[in-house]
């Protein structure tokens, strides 16, 4: 079985500040890990993914995440927040037992960016 925990249902930052969204996973097999973003009234858009290559993964819109096996974490960061980053972010895990096809999602973190 696999699961994802996102710490903090809401995170507030000021424009220009560091963004850090936390994700911890549980998986009995080497996982694939994903971050998605959802803007209001839209579907989810893939930000980045870890699939057992480089542990530091760069994604779209200046986001990156680092896979840390010892900490079972895959935190999402961005050096400088923009107003346009305000959205809900979902971490997800996929495992070999599902052929790396099905995803288990965290409950999401709403990022609020103030001027």
Binding site for other proteins (CB under 8 A): 9, 32, 34, 36, 41-46, 49, 51, 90, 99-103, 105-108
- DSSP bridge partners of 88: 38, 110
H/E segment holding residue 55: none
**Distance in Å, CB of 15 to other proteins, minimum:** 26
Judged by beta carbon, residue 50 or residue 75, the one nearer other proteins is 50
In 1-115, alpha helices (H):
none
**Distance in Å, CB of 13 to other proteins, minimum:** 22
Judged by beta carbon, residue 15 or residue 88, the one nearer other proteins is 88
CA–CA separation, 10 and 61 (whole Å) = 20
**Distance in Å, CB of 54 to other proteins, minimum:** 16
Judged by beta carbon, residue 3 or residue 55, the one nearer other proteins is 3
Residues 74 and 65 sit within 8 Å (Cβ to Cβ): yes
DSSP 31: E
Judged by beta carbon, residue 80 or residue 96, the one nearer other proteins is 96
């Amino acid at each position: 079985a696999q699961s994802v925990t996102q710490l903090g249902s809401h995170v507030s930052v000021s424009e220009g500040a560091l963004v850090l969204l936390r994700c911890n996973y549980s998986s009995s097999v080497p996982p694939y890990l994903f971050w998605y973003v959802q803007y209001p009234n839209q579907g989810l858009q893939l930000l980045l993914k870890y699939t057992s290559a480089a542990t530091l993964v760069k994604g779209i819109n200046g986001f990156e995440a680092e896979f840390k096996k010892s900490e079972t974490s895959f935190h999402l960061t961005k050096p400088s927040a923009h107003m346009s980053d305000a959205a809900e972010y979902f971490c997800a895990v996929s495992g070999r037992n599902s052929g790396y096809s099905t995803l288990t999602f965290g409950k999401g973190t709403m990022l609020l960016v103030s001027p």
